[in-house]
Amino acid sequence: KVKAQLEEKEGKTFDVFTAVEFKTQVVAGTNYFIKVHVGNDEFMHLRVFRSLPQENKPLSLHSYQSSKAKHDELAFF
């Protein structure tokens, strides 16, 4: 659901977009920190926000970190 948002921010498309790890943080909603394989040996870390159910808002890409490797630790950011 956030692939298109990331592609728009990066100005490119990703043929590969596979989540390989995630962590959650409960706030006024939930932050998902997701390590995504985007092809070759490239990975990105995404911070995706899901609002509370009663707010009825779509998932949103809050921020991301590019140029990550498979072994890089997924940390809150």
Tens of pLDDT along 23-38? 999 988 999 999 999 9
User: Residues 32-43, buried b or exposed e (16+ Cβ, 10 A)?
Assistant: bbbbbbbeeeeb
Residue ranges of domains in the chain: 1-69
pLDDT confidence of residue 65: 93
pTM given for the model: 0.84
Identity of the amino acid at 4: A
CA 57 to CA 43: how far, in whole Å? 27
Q: How far is CA 44 from CA 1, 55, 68, in A?
A: 15, 28, 5
